[in-house]
Structure 1
Amino acid sequence: MAAAMPWNARVLTLYPAMFPGPLGQSLAGRALVEGRWSLTAVDIRDFARDKHRTVDDTPCGGGPGMVMRPDVLATAIDETLAGAGSAAAEQPLIYFSPRGRRLDQALVHEVKAAGGATLICGRFEGVDERLLQARPVVEVSLGDFVLSGGEIAAYALIDAVVRLLPGVMGAEESGTEESFADGLLEYPQYTRPQMWEGRAVPEVLLSGHHERIAAWRREMAEKITAERRPDLWERYRRRKPAAKD
């Protein structure tokens, strides 16, 4: 049987030296060395049309900052996809933007299942709107804040995907018993020593009774989610009766 193709991230950026960066360390770094995923960092400036390698221009209508040119960026996208094989054209083309769909675990699973993704890291005031209309771009937001560029968002998405790939996590259940796996925040975790600064590990966790432990963890996950993320709790609460049928 032929080996499965590794999940591939193609990152279009003005700063290719930022990659792999932190993705070259820890779980993601080891998985990269093992060939469980691959990374291609593409320098957008390589597709500029002048000797100064210009990728941006002033915004039409005036205003501060600069805007990334659609012609340069479109060429970077098209040539990158053309060189990546036919499967790449069917995989997500993601541009990181505060206007986009919020990055959550459901989206991470979608990107993982696609087998790879092409990630556009914007800079300056963003990219020309016509580029977003002319290519099948999905805008994705890391949260309600502004970064200097999309590279840090790309780190976050890639890391979230890579840890779900087969063989990356140390234990198979690690990817399922954690925050957002079933719509809840994760339950509290404890380890040795049993007593620390007058605080004890909950007795149920030392009981060896797996059903009681599972019930306690579910109860704590529900309690924490309700207190800290009412938006998640409301969605979970609406789904919960159907899940019991």
Structure 2
Amino acid sequence: MKNLLITGATGDIACEIAKQVQGYRLILLSRDVSSLKDLSEHLYQVDLSDEVALTETCQHISKQFGAIDVLINNAGYGYFKPFLADDNAAVRQMFDVNVLALMQVTRAFLPDMMAEKSGQIINIASIASYMATAKTTAYAATKFAVRGFSNALRQEVADAKIKVLVVNTGPVLTKFHAANPDYLAKVGRHAVTAAFVAKKIVSHLETNRQELNLPWQLNLARIFSMNFPSLADKITRRFFNLK
């Protein structure tokens, strides 16, 4: 049976993927696995910002199950805060989880993938990696980093036939935005469900797709912003800075 591993497994998107996927041995990593017992018997509780513990956990998984066939780096978080109100400790913690832990997990399982000359790495980023908005400076920076890392890694592992998919979502109806009900109310018509995102991801397991940008309306906005950056900045400041 093929192995599919998800980090940040208590997240809404991760849980939906676990419910929808079939034909894989599900290996779930999270800071707290108590709510995941109905989804898989292969649960690993670890703090992704603890480098030593994370390395030991990944090594244990490799010894027990062998190569990971699909790695979904879902763990991550964010908050809305003006840049001058933020502080280095909080920003560093976000980079530790959103970027460095993602790279560490990938580094742990990549050698076995390369030896097998197969596998897929799916990194959950954000439309914010293309269209950053006010009060998301740290979060957007981490997601830019995830997308840049993914694009570079894809070139490095191409000869080993390893696929790298980046998933960029706009607002999703998850716990992330549930803590910001006013913002969610303003962007509700652009928000998608975790089940919708999970279905799109599951449908692209082990395919050659390089990027998913969801929903289609924000994908169009992304394309527009890439071609008309100055105008896009003006529109974004007026219509999208709703935090």
Answer yes or no: same fold by TM over 0.5.
Answer: no
Structure with the larger helix share: 2
TM-score (norm 2): 0.32
Q: For the pair shown, which has the larger CA radius of gyration, 1 or 2? A: 1
TM-score (norm 1): 0.32
